[in-house]
Amino acid sequence: MKKKGNLALLWRTGRLSARLALMASDKTSPTDVSARYFAINGAQIEAKRPRGGLYLVATPIGNLGDITLRALEVLAGADVIACEDTRVTRRLTERYGIATPLTPYHEHNAAEARPRLLKRLSNCEAVALVSDAGTPLISDPGFKLVRAAREAGYAVNALPGPSALLAALSVAGLPTDRFFFEGFLPPKQAARQKRIAALVAIPATLVLYESGTRLAATLADLATGLGPRAAAICRELTKLHEEVRRDDLVSLARAYADGGETRGEIVIVVAPPAEQETQADDVDAMLRQALARVSVKDAVGEVALATGRSRREVYQRALELSRDDSDGTP
């Protein structure tokens, strides 16, 4: 088989299709039984084995055509692919003719599986880590593996690509200059409402993930806690039934309470609060509430993030409040 050229260059210059056709027409059997391959449009392409290390590979969030050439090459050339659900990842590998072994790595088996993956890394193997969809470690259990690999001195490499977070943010039509990724809110209402209260003053667009079964309840709590902010419900992004529904939170909560479509993967994007200067009394109240729950350091971080004020300014005010409280000053 002819050795592949620079796929990225061929892609940019529009010569990839011709090269793939040429490679597909070459019927010579590979002489190296250890060679790895992936296939595009029926053309089999040899993948070089990556250097030993951990590779964080972003995979499509819905449309399997969104995979990158580099991701295909690493997935095909790696010694093993660690994935949340082997059944989900196998659909991707079968689509592109990738024969790399799959091994499960998820929150329920991570403590047992992590040492085995680290052992592979110690043997200079190339380990690819993927999530079921999107970029690994975004609402995904892989961070402990990355941390352990770095602490052990192994190379960790990122292969960027699809992300539901960024895809939703890009189509929502809401400010993107500053955003805060919350992930999934707590499933129980009391905890969810408490967490939403902590998000109220964050001066950024909010991005959340949610399941279809909890969407209506979450929107009701968001409407109560955040008011009629502009928002977008992004469902099944990149898939056949992709839907982006825009309105204010109150209207969206009402619509989904009445039976809006909730099947599929869902991202909620919420506009930031209206710009207004946080008054000193507001800062004091927020600090007192935070200091009653957490340490001074954590309280300062929360309030600085929520108000946009500098940590130094908030820290000085926290010290003053602490002195006043110890002196009995109202």
Contacts of 82 (CB under 8 A, 6+ apart): 103, 104, 105, 113, 117, 127, 128, 129, 130, 145
The pLDDT value given to residue 275: 67
Confidence band for 278, pLDDT divided at 50, 70 and 90: low
CB 321 within 8 A of CB 283: no
Same domain, yes or no, for 182 and 258?
A: yes
Q: What percentage of the chain carries pLDDT values higher than 70?
A: 86
Structural domain boundaries enclosing 69: 48-162
What is the amino acid identity at position 86? T
As a whole number of angstroms, the distance between CA 34 and CA 189 comes to 54
The pLDDT value given to residue 329: 52
Classify residue 29: in a domain, yes or no: no
Classify residue 8: in a domain, yes or no: no
Same domain, yes or no, for 311 and 253?
A: no
Residue finishing a domain among 162, 186, 202:
162
Confidence band for 174, pLDDT divided at 50, 70 and 90: very high
Same domain, yes or no, for 177 and 130?
A: no
What is the arithmetic mean of pLDDT over 123-147?
92
The pLDDT value given to residue 26: 41
Position 28 pLDDT exceeds 70: no
Cross-strand bridge partners of residue 235 = 243, 266
- Higher-confidence residue: 181 or 35? 181
Classify residue 84 by its DSSP letter.
S
What is the arithmetic mean of pLDDT over 2-12?
45
CB 99 within 8 A of CB 89: no
Q: Count up the domains in the chain and report the number.
A: 3
Classify residue 106: in a domain, yes or no: yes
Q: What percentage of the chain carries pLDDT values higher than 90?
A: 68
Confidence band for 320, pLDDT divided at 50, 70 and 90: confident
Same domain, yes or no, for 52 and 146?
A: yes
Closest to 89 (Cα-Cα) out of 143, 41, 134: 134
Classify residue 233: in a domain, yes or no: yes
Q: Mean pLDDT of all residues in the chain?
A: 87
The pLDDT value given to residue 328: 55
The pLDDT value given to residue 140: 74
Position 304 pLDDT exceeds 90: no
Same domain, yes or no, for 293 and 215?
A: no
Angle between helices 189-199 and 215-226 (to 10 degrees): 40
pLDDT in tens, 178-219: 999 999 999 999 999 999 999 998 999 999 999 999 999 999
Position 159 pLDDT exceeds 50: yes
The pLDDT value given to residue 287: 87
Same domain, yes or no, for 62 and 156?
A: yes
The pLDDT value given to residue 11: 46
* pTM score above 0.85: no
Contacts of 109 (CB under 8 A, 6+ apart): none
